[in-house]
Amino acid sequence: FGSISSHSPFATGGGESRTGRGSRTVKSQIFTKTGRSHLPLPCSITNQIRLSVTSSFSTSPTSIIMSATTAPQLNTAATKQPTLQQSNIARVQALVAEFQAGRPEGYLAGVHENIHGSVLGGLIPGGDDYRGKAAFQELMGSMDQYMEVSKFEPKNWRAVNDDVLFNVDWAFVWIPTGKLIETTALVRKVVRDGMICEKYHCICDVEAITGQPSPHDATPVERVQELLAEYGAGRPEGYLAGVSDDFSGSVLQGWVPDEMARFNSKEDFGKLMGEMEQYMEVTKFEPCNFVAMPNNDMMFNVNWCFTYKSTGKVVETTAVVRKVLDKDNNLCEKYHMVDADCVLEESPRDVVAAAH
């Protein structure tokens, strides 16, 4: 994207979040034993920095507050080499930094010629289905006609397979109405050989911003919400009824055993669901920020509060989730990612207590 300025909305990916058919807003479902609805404290440390940058498509610099969050790091004491996922997160963060520093050419150097995806679909014309590096660059160049950005804060960095997934907190003036918008996006970037090959940046509540439905099919969001309602009502069999036999993905990888976290069938996933209580005692499970994406795809967040039974540590964190539906409207892929370090690392209070 173009670097952040009063005229240019992005330096990295972001997203459109929508819920329900016709892009109507659907309230977050809250599954909690305590009934509390407070947001969890973030596990990663957020460092605020003030940047003065110039839009790649404008000559007027502006100073805004940006946030950079540290990428989650798996426990790699046994190896000195970063994992593919750690390398991909670092690569995307480095490209974002190029744009934030006012060097769009540095970001574009990491973009594949055949990049495709959806960026601010429903907000920027053509954003819902762009194809090719030239089209992507043209899309970025038109953003300052629609958005005047004052905040763009990437956070909740996660990675699985070739995907880098994260959130972006936005604040911008929607120029067609002059209204100040504060919202959250979900982002998926597919990285292969160090190049961004696909990028999906979807903002929540497109219809609330523009008055028009999101261009993406709402069916994946609606179906996932139906299945989550079954799970939240204590009917896991209702959730499993919407899962394909060849269901694959990973859940909570990095702090539960890999052979359990990774699954390649409905049977394996059913076993995982049955064994989760061995590792965690959940007091809050709050899905939110639902967004539909192309390709029968969707993403959302889950605000968690649970006790990690191995240590007794109480964890409050936010997961990034991606789910994919098959042609029969059943879940065929699921990736539910929590910062493993947030769960495994000792808190300063625990360290002090152990010293005494």
> pLDDT by residue (tens digit) across 156-168?
999 999 999 999 9
In percent, the amount of the chain with pLDDT more than 70 equals 75
Q: Mean pLDDT across the stretch 184-191? A: 98
| Least confident interval from 52-56, 179-183, 222-226 | 52-56
Q: What is the mean pLDDT of the chain?
A: 81
Q: Mean pLDDT across the stretch 105-124? A: 96
Which residues, including other chains, have CB under 8 Å from residue 179's CB and lie 6 or more apart? 173, 209
211 — alpha (psi -120 to 50), left (phi > 0) or beta?
left
With a cut of 70, say whether residue 350 has pLDDT above it: no
Contact between 34 and 284 under an 8 Å Cβ cutoff? The reply is yes
With a cut of 70, say whether residue 64 has pLDDT above it: no
Q: What pLDDT is attached to residue 291?
A: 97
Closest alpha carbon to 5 in 48, 62, 50, 57:
62
Residue written as tokens 């991909």? 88
Closest alpha carbon to 200 in 251, 166, 151, 157:
166
Closest alpha carbon to 43 in 304, 289, 334:
304
Q: What confidence tier does 103 reach under pLDDT thresholds 50, 70, 90?
A: confident
Q: What pLDDT is attached to residue 32?
A: 41
Q: What confidence tier does 19 reach under pLDDT thresholds 50, 70, 90?
A: very low
Q: What confidence tier does 75 reach under pLDDT thresholds 50, 70, 90?
A: low
Q: What pLDDT is attached to residue 222?
A: 97
Residue 222 main-chain phi, psi, to 5 deg: -60, -45
Q: What pLDDT is attached to residue 135?
A: 97
| Tokens matching residue 149 | 């950005």
Q: What pLDDT is attached to residue 99?
A: 78
pLDDT per position as a tens digit, 206-225: 999 999 999 999 999 999 99
Q: What confidence tier does 317 reach under pLDDT thresholds 50, 70, 90?
A: very high
Length of the chain: 356
With a cut of 60, say whether residue 18 has pLDDT above it: no
More confident residue, 56 or 323: 323
With a cut of 90, say whether residue 189 has pLDDT above it: yes
What is the secondary structure of 3-43 as a DSSP string? PPSSS---SS--EE---SGGG---PPP-EESS---PPPPPS
Q: What pLDDT is attached to residue 41?
A: 37
With a cut of 60, say whether residue 72 has pLDDT above it: no
With a cut of 90, say whether residue 195 has pLDDT above it: yes
Most confident range (mean pLDDT) of 27-41, 45-59, 318-332 is 318-332
Please give the sequence-ordered ranges of beta strands (E in DSSP) within the chain, or none if there are none: 15-16, 31-32, 46-54, 61-69, 111-119, 130-131, 147-160, 163-174, 179-192, 195-203, 243-251, 262-263, 280-293, 297-308, 313-325, 331-337
Q: What pLDDT is attached to residue 347?
A: 59
With a cut of 90, say whether residue 349 has pLDDT above it: no
Return the number of other C-beta atoms located less than 10 Å from residue 101's C-beta.
Answer: 15
pLDDT per position as a tens digit, 227-277: 999 999 999 999 999 999 999 999 999 999 999 999 999 999 999 999 999
Helix (H, G, I), strand (E, B) or coil at 125: coil
